[in-house]
Structure 1
Amino acid sequence: LLEELGINFSHIKEKTFAVLNPTGSASPEVIEDQDLAGPLVFCLLFGFALLLHGKMTFGYIYGIGGLGCVGMYALMNLMASDKTISFVCTASVLGYCLLPMAILSMVTAVLSFKGVFGYSVSALAVIWCSSASSKLFVIALSMHQQRLLVAYPCVLLYSVFALLAIF
């Protein structure tokens, strides 16, 4: 049944490990796989972790995520000269790279992140998410010289998610 739905667990595992190791390599075939099962799980995990704080932010998560996907889809297709990326692939990359933010929100459910230490850890989570997503976009679109330009809007998007997680 899962094969008929297009859910490939080996690709989900490879994409998750590519996010968890932002300095490693990933194959373009795995990145271009249009899988939304993993991102949906990570968005729900992020939302449930925020729910442990007493924050009902599912609407914000999906709204900001959807708007971010539309913006990144347009921006990536404008920046790439040779290749194009589909909207579903863009949503997949951004959703998978939400995993460090979900981990941050689970940790903030236990610890208070209102001080300098919390802001520093949140900044590290934003950098982690942004470097992973920019790596995946650069590999998928062969834009190796433009990684910092790709990373900047990713930093802005994941900073909004970090604000949801710590405040």
Structure 2
Amino acid sequence: MSNLGQFDSDFYQSNYTIENQEQSGNEPHAYGNLYESRKQQASEQPPSAFIPSEMFIPSGYSGQFLQPESNPDYYSQSSYIDSFDEEPPLLEELGINFDHIWQKTLTVLNPLKPADGSIMNETDLTGPILFFVALGTTLLLAGKVQFGYVYGMSAIGCLGIHGLLNLMSSSGVSYGCVASVLGYCLLPMVILSSCAIFFSLQDTFGTVLALVVIGWCSLSASKIFISALDMEGQQLLIAYPCALLYGLFALLTVF
């Protein structure tokens, strides 16, 4: 039993004694002082947790709670918002300019008209594609299926003229510009192939007409090239290979 009493005294060992309890009981104002100290600490803390959220809203704010105020100046000054009126037309974005197409067509139809180098030095393939399709269609109406020959000779001829012009000119020229000029100058050949629908060209009149059309095409192409590349005095040198190319198209048309 003595061991059990020693175990209890060791297990419940503490600094708190009965004397301390009697002393605290004899002091009637102990709990009152404790309450006053806690109340003073609570009054010293900032009452931020008890302030309503409406007091944090600035006085100049006119929107509703949890809803931002709309600012029209922000949207009007944004650089990424563009109106539809400021956007370019769709045909201009695709590189199709009907005014330039019409001017180039008139330049080809009138070999004596001076060419505008700023307009002719463009990679516009809208007109050439239309003229190639028109040439193949007129040959088809004349009973000649020659679409493959038309596009094949056009590609090879553009490569040859492109290499020749780069050797002759100091500024150089792009392949698209050469294809555009040669394609526009194919318009007189379309007129010749249209004549082949109604009558045969395998006679003297047809031969003379074919020679005139070849000279017409080569003269227009050489005029445009010397105007776009500033190659004055070299028109005959450029007209000769162009005449050879258009002579192949004339052979397809006549025979």
Tell me the residue number matched to 2:195.
107
Counterpart pick for 1:47 among 136, 159, 162: 136
User: In the aligned structure 2, how far is the partner of 1:158 from the partner of 1:51?
Assistant: 19
Tell me the residue number matched to 1:119.
207
Tell me the residue number matched to 2:120.
31
Regions of 4+ moved over 3 Å: none
**Gapped regions of structure 2 (runs ≥ 5):** 1-89
Matched pairs, number = 166
Counterpart pick for 1:128 among 216, 229, 249: 216
Matches within 5 A, 1:74-85: 74-81=163-170, 83-85=171-173
Give the partner amino acid of 2:240.
Y
Higher relative contact order (CA 8 A, sep 6+): 1
Structure (1 or 2) with the greater helix fraction? 1
The structure with the largest alpha-carbon Rg is 2
Give the partner amino acid of 1:139.
S
User: In the aligned structure 1, how far is the partner of 2:149 from the partner of 2:112?
Assistant: 30
Does 2:246 align with 1:158?
yes
Deviation at 1:40, TM superposition (A): 0.2
TM-score by length of 1: 0.98
Give secondary structure in 2 for the equivalent of 1:56: coil
Give the partner amino acid of 1:104.
L
Tell me the residue number matched to 2:12.
none
User: In the aligned structure 1, how far is the partner of 2:110 from the partner of 2:204?
Assistant: 26
User: In the aligned structure 2, how far is the partner of 1:150 from the partner of 1:39?
Assistant: 20
Between the aligned residues of both structures, percent identity stands at: 51
Deviation at 1:111, TM superposition (A): 1.2
CA RMSD of superposed structures (Å): 0.7
Deviation at 1:33, TM superposition (A): 1.7
TM-score by length of 2: 0.64
